[in-house]
Amino acid sequence: MADTGHSVVDDYFTLVDDSCVAVLPHVLRIAAELKIADHLPASSDSLASVVDADADSVHRLLRALASVGLVTESGRTFALTERGQRLRASWASLVNIDSQLAWIRATDTIRSGRSSFDQAHRGEFFSHKDDDLEANRMFLRRMRERASRSYPEFATAVDWTPSSVVMDVGGGDGYLIETVLNHAAHVSGVLFDRPATVDVVEDSGLPARFGERLRCERGDFFEKVAAGADTHLMCSVLHDWTDEQCTRILRHSKEALDPGGRLHIVEMIVPDGDDWHPSKWSDVGMMVLTGGKERTRTEFEVLLAASGYALQSVRAIPNSHFSVITAV
Ligand SMILES: C[S@@+](CC[C@H](N)C(=O)[O-])C[C@H]1O[C@@H](n2cnc3c(N)ncnc32)[C@H](O)[C@@H]1O
């Protein structure tokens, strides 16, 4: 694992001198913003007219993409390669203007210890999305892309036998609760999230597809979590928040949970030592974007104990850097 991180940084310093690394994120974002992948195969001229862009500039952009294997060129016609399909699968993650504005000011975060997102956007990470519905939709799409890439098999790492009603707290666009309902036929689900997000979920038709097995609850987990479930799920929620904020969320979860219920937390666990691990990089991302953090196993244990929970088990999710931390 240590080697992965070392070779990434070696490649970075080599490529940054050739300008590929400096330009690559921007080229990928431009390709995503123009939705180039949706219109291939095509000649650069016809693509330029479809995406309303300058033909010579589109050709040069595609030539750069071909040099990293995302497209191939044959007689000025460009086609998407298998690797290029990732432009589609990661579309919303690539067009992530919100985060990019915060990263431009990220040195402020290191100086002040506070997220730079609110200074870049005049609003904290989630309240900004309550006021900007398009930003909220893009965020939810990014979360779906991320969850389906990062922990698609999470449902297999949980024993759902004792569960009857599973509430996905901060459940986003419903990708995870849908996965649970498909995996465990005896379970019914509740998606609990901010009103702006539940509006998106209801518009998507997801609850209607599951009929009585799935309902939505609008709320704010800093005020309270809705009652009526014996199992709470929290995937990539706690890492958005400080310890003090997490304690409030977890206490509200514990108060709302049926007696004898359980909480499954899906997060990365920061390992000790110098080895490369994505949690150490996501941690810096959380620091800049939301003011949250990634945590070690001991930090989770302390947080849970301060909130009325006791850590019961930690299971690694197959083919993932994430784990399921179960607390009762
Ligand atoms: C990082 S996303 C994770 C989404 C999903 N669980 C996943 O794993 O992809 C955090 C979620 O917490 C929700 N959230 C943020 N603040 C909230 C609040 N005060 N009350 C309820 N949900 C909130 C967001 O709307 C979002 O869906």
Is the domain of 130 the same as that of 214?
no
Alpha-carbon distance of 274 to 268, in angstroms, equals 16
Is the domain of 248 the same as that of 165?
yes
Minimum-distance ligand 1 atom for the alpha carbon of 197 = 25
The overall pTM is greater than 0.85: yes
Convert the pLDDT of each residue in 1-18 to its tens digit.
Answer: 557 788 888 888 887 777
pLDDT confidence of residue 34: 96
> Rounded to the nearest whole angstrom, what is the distance from the C-alpha of residue 320 to the centroid of ligand 1?
20
pLDDT confidence of residue 10: 86
Domain boundary residue, one of 109, 143, 177 = 143
pLDDT confidence of residue 157: 96
Please work out whether the CB of residue 235 comes within 6 Å of at least one atom of ligand 1: yes
Ligand 1 atom 18, closest CA: 220
Is the domain of 137 the same as that of 234?
no
Is the domain of 130 the same as that of 217?
no
Could you tell me the end-to-end alpha-carbon distance of the chain, in angstroms, rounded to an integer? 33
Is the domain of 64 the same as that of 129?
no
Number of domains in the chain: 3
Is the domain of 202 the same as that of 293?
yes
Is the domain of 220 the same as that of 270?
yes
Residue 136: domain span = 91-143
User: Residue 175 belongs to a domain with what CATH number?
Assistant: 3.40.50.150
> Rounded to the nearest whole angstrom, what is the distance from the C-alpha of residue 112 to the centroid of ligand 1?
25
pLDDT confidence of residue 2: 55
Is the domain of 232 the same as that of 262?
yes
pLDDT confidence of residue 124: 85
Domain boundary residue, one of 73, 89, 105 = 89
- Give the residue ranges of the chain where pLDDT is below 70: 1-2
Is the domain of 32 the same as that of 128?
no
> Rounded to the nearest whole angstrom, what is the distance from the C-alpha of residue 234 to the centroid of ligand 1?
9
CB contact set of 263 (below 8 Å; sequence gap of 6+): 231, 232, 233, 234, 250, 253, 254, 257, 309, 326, 327, 328
pLDDT confidence of residue 1: 53
pLDDT confidence of residue 211: 95
Please work out whether the CB of residue 241 comes within 6 Å of at least one atom of ligand 1: no
pLDDT confidence of residue 263: 98
Is the domain of 116 the same as that of 244?
no
In contact, 85 and 32? CB cutoff 8 Å: no
Residue whose tokens read 């108060």: 255
